[in-house]
Structure 1
Amino acid sequence: MSKPVSKPVNKPARKLAAAALLMGAATAHAQKYEGLADTPQMGWNSWNKFACDISEQLIRDTADAMVKNGMRDAGYTYLNIDDCWHGQRDANGNIQADPERFPSGIKALADYVHARGLKLGIYSDAGAKTCGGRPGSRGYEYQDARTYAAWGVDYLKYDWCETKGLNSEGAYTTMRDALRAAGRPILFSICEWGDTKPWDWARDVGHSWRTTGDITACWDCELSHGSWSSFGVLKIMDKTAALRKYAGPGHWNDMDMLEVGNGLTPDEERAHFSIWAMMASPLISGNDLRSMSPTTLKILTNRDVIAINQDKLGVQALRRMAQGDLEMWIKPLADGGWGVLFLNRGERTIDYRHDWQKYPLADDISKHEADLKKKTFRWSELWQGRGGDTSKALDVKLAPHSAMMLRLKAP
């Protein structure tokens, strides 16, 4: 039998693969970069609104919009390019940007974004191909990580399509180690849709992990696509509620990008944003920032609600009470106060009088509690601006699919 002859184009790839194995052994005990997500990351992502219809001009325009409309100053730091930015790999296996969509290249785009006080995120996949059919990072993890570092990338969303035969913990750990070896602090966002329970293994691997399949712009629905489903706001909230003990500074339950500005009603948008804030999920907007309504912008830049999400204690909210379509969620805060959310899941207006003393504020996971029989807290309502204290019952009127969000301050 004659010896198989390797094609010359494969030699560099083979050498790089061998080098990657050596680097992998050397970094077997590598750790993710700390300090990049002490509070849930905030930013924008292209997928929800634009899917594969992206370009460098869109990213530049979005960066300019984030500065002009105040989103950057409200805390939105990352500008993330999702799937379909890829061109082909060159003869040495280096990934290239699509020359028609991104003619200036990713490095020039990163420089543009950085000059505006923002950070650039990019997307890849643990499989051979991305969900959009572009080249994935399987077998090229260390090479791609070095490329991203050289380009000045600050964030990597890493997907899970075309991964037959791969172990998720192993695949994501390989990319974590590759990012560490590349030497540039890059926030690592794990996106395997909760299929292999990443909350059990990903705390030391990534900075956040998706808890469900993709979000879609509806209140309480599930849309089947055959082998997978996308979910509305309440479905994702309910699926993530039981995972609260896994969330905390540097390791967050990611409930997917926001659909604020993509077709929900204003009441639904406020409730959606409030839920993500209370649940300590990353706040990654997914709408067109260049043309959103003043109402949508006001929701996304509500600094009081954002402050609940960015609280340094980092506790995911607890569903304290549920009575039919009415729910009460509570979240202890670093200053001794509490975030409180009243939510109407249903189709009818709810009129409710809340007796603060009937529902003590207590969380057995974080070990925070407040006895409202002994202490009176001042409260401020974060959407309408009302105020009061817990010595008196609270009158709650909730339209369908709406929420009331309060911040309680300790005496």
Structure 2
Amino acid sequence: MTVFIGATGNCWAQKAEGLASTPQMGWNSWNKFACDIDERLIRETADAMVRQGLKDVGFQYVNIDDCWQGQRDADGNIQPDPKRFPSGMKALADYVHGKGLKLGIYSDAGATTCGGRPGSRGHEYQDARTYARWGIDYVKYDWCDTPGLNAEAAYTTMRDAIAKAGRPMVFSICEWGMSKPWEWAGHVGHSWRTTPDIYNCFDCEYSPGFSTGLGVLRILDKQANLRKFAGPGHWNDMDMLEVGNGMSEDEDRAHLSIWAMMASPLILGNDLRSMTEATRRILTNPGVIAVSQDKLGVQALRILADGPLEIYAKPLEGDQWALMFLNRSNQAVDVRHDWKAHLLTDDLSKRSVDFKQTVYRWSDLWSKKTGDTSAKLEARLAPHSVLMLRLTSPAKP
């Protein structure tokens, strides 16, 4: 536990330091399975994360979302659903840890969760102690059933409870961006949701009533002006990934690329046990994962918008850059990019490149093609696809 000593001598508990120094990588049960979960699914998912090579590229958290809860016992201690999790959470955590992975769990700031199960309101310290005893490594904390609650205060209470429990746990704030958590959550959680839930489409919005679901591009557009709040240990969370859940391969590649460029946590939302080889290759692309996990921790900025074509740039360690050319439209577009016509500048990281003065080599992280910035870049982008490049200065290969 890390403790901060204030000027007056008072002590405040802090979130666990040293966690999420790069955006979290893992899996969550909600997008694919919602409430249809049990301990067998979690064990099999941990097995698949190892077998499919996901652990090897950095995915480590296996996160149980809503509906794992049973009732509280006579002393108020939360119990797992005995039918779904008969072996208990400690045994499940031990199994996941035995795979070299980590286990995450879900609760809610309200009295009940979004799925109608017991939430943590009034039981924050008790629940945090229980999670620590079970061996939990990650807590996603939702925002249903919270009328009249102040978000910052509610999340700070759970942060303090986790700190007092004595076990380092990633604290993922899932408040949907309603109270602008990027303005206050940097010292409270390791990441915070910036939007309503994701919906499994590339460019749409789904509003069935209480909830709203946003497609990939709608979520991307809501990140404007938020990049200054992100960095090592505190990330803008664009929600869980829908890769492998039914979009096209081009859309899946673009989806993962966007999340990597924007330094959002990469939390998978598909069925790892039965994914296609194409999906596995997308999710284990080492070049794209490396951009996500770059230690500089700078979120990308949009540097050019030309109709449906947008260009995003992300400064990387070692005077390197990642560039993403995004085709937002339903039609193919041609890329004709003259490097020397554009000065690449990022005021946030204080980095700039004049391609008239410096030639960078580039490698296409999806096609593996290579080239350099001495010649114009020409490519044809399919609908809803990306061209993602890593730029390396010749002086620093």
- TM class by shorter chain equals over 0.9
Residues 9-20 of structure 1: pairs in structure 2 closer than 5 A: none
Are 1:325 and 2:308 counterparts? yes
Amino acid at match of 1:40: P
1:125 is aligned, of 74, 90, 108, to 108
1:240 shift after superposition: 1.2
2:379 is the counterpart of 1:391: no
| Alpha-carbon distance in structure 1 between the residues aligned to 2:330 and 2:340 | 28
CA separation of 1:294 and 1:27: change in aligned 2, threshold 3 A: farther
Choose the corresponding residue for 1:234, options 217, 223, 239: 217
Identity of aligned residues (%): 68
C-alpha distance 27-158 of structure 1, shift in aligned 2 (>3 A) = farther
Q: Counterpart in 1 of 2:174?
A: 191
SS at 1:44 equivalent:
strand
CA contact (8 A) 2:112 2:119 kept: yes
TM-aligned CA deviation for residue 241 of structure 1 = 2.7
Structure 2, gaps ≥5 residues long: 1-8
Q: Secondary structure at the match of 1:240?
A: coil
Pairing of 1:262-281 with structure 2 (within 5 A): 262-281=245-264
Residues 292-342 of structure 1: per-residue CA shift (max 9 Å, x gap): 000000000001000000000000000000010000000000111100000
Q: Does 1:221 align with 2:204?
A: yes
SS at match of 1:110: helix
Q: Shift in Å at residue 28 of structure 1? A: 5.9
Unaligned ranges ≥5, structure 1: 1-25
Cα deviation, residue 356, structure 1:
0.6
Residues 2-401 of structure 1 aligned to structure 2 (within 5 Å): 29-401=12-384
Task: Tell me by how many angstroms 1:357 deviates.
Answer: 1.3
Structure 1 residue 371: Cα displacement: 1.2
Q: Hey, what's the Cα distance between the residues in 2 that align with 1:371 and 1:34?
A: 37
Q: Any conservation in 1 of the 2:242–2:269 contact (CA below 8 Å)?
A: yes
Q: CA deviation at 1:58?
A: 0.2
Structure 1 match to 2:4? none
* 8 Å CA contact retained: 1:27, 1:181: no
Shift of 1:71: 0.4
SS of 1:172 mapped into structure 2 = helix
1:27 deviation in Å? 8.9
1 CA distance for matches of 2:366 and 2:224? 23
Contact 2:342/2:354 (CA < 8 Å) preserved in 1? no
**Residue 115 of structure 1: how far off its partner (Å):** 0.2
User: Cα RMSD (Å) of the superposition?
Assistant: 1.0
What is aligned with 1:17? none
Counterpart contact for 1:379–1:409, Cα < 8 Å: yes
Counterpart Cα distance in 2 of 1:154 and 1:114: 10
Which residue of structure 2 lines up, in the alignment, with residue 10 of structure 1? none
What do residues 147-205 of structure 1 show as CA deviations (whole Å, max 9, x unaligned)?
00000000000000000111000000000000000000000000000000000000000
C-alpha deviation, 1:50, in angstroms: 0.1
State the SS of the aligned residue for 1:352. Answer: strand
Structure 1 counterpart of 2:80, which letter?
Answer: A
Secondary structure at 1:107 match in 2: helix
Q: Highest Rg: 1 or 2? A: 1
Secondary structure of 2:120's counterpart equals: coil
* Alpha carbons 1:260, 1:273 under 8 Å: kept: yes
TM-score scaled by structure 2? Answer: 0.96
Contact 2:15 2:159 in 1 (8 A): yes
Q: CA deviation at 1:368?
A: 1.1
CA distance in 1, matches of 2:302, 2:209: 32
Moved over 4 A (4+): none
Retained in 1: the 8 A contact 2:200–2:242? yes
Normalised by the length of structure 1, the TM-score is 0.93
Task: Report the 3-state secondary structure (helix = DSSP H, G, I; strand = E; otherwise coil) of the residue aligned with 2:222.
Answer: helix
Q: Deviations over 1:110-155 (max 9, x none)?
A: 0000000000000000000000000000000000000000000000
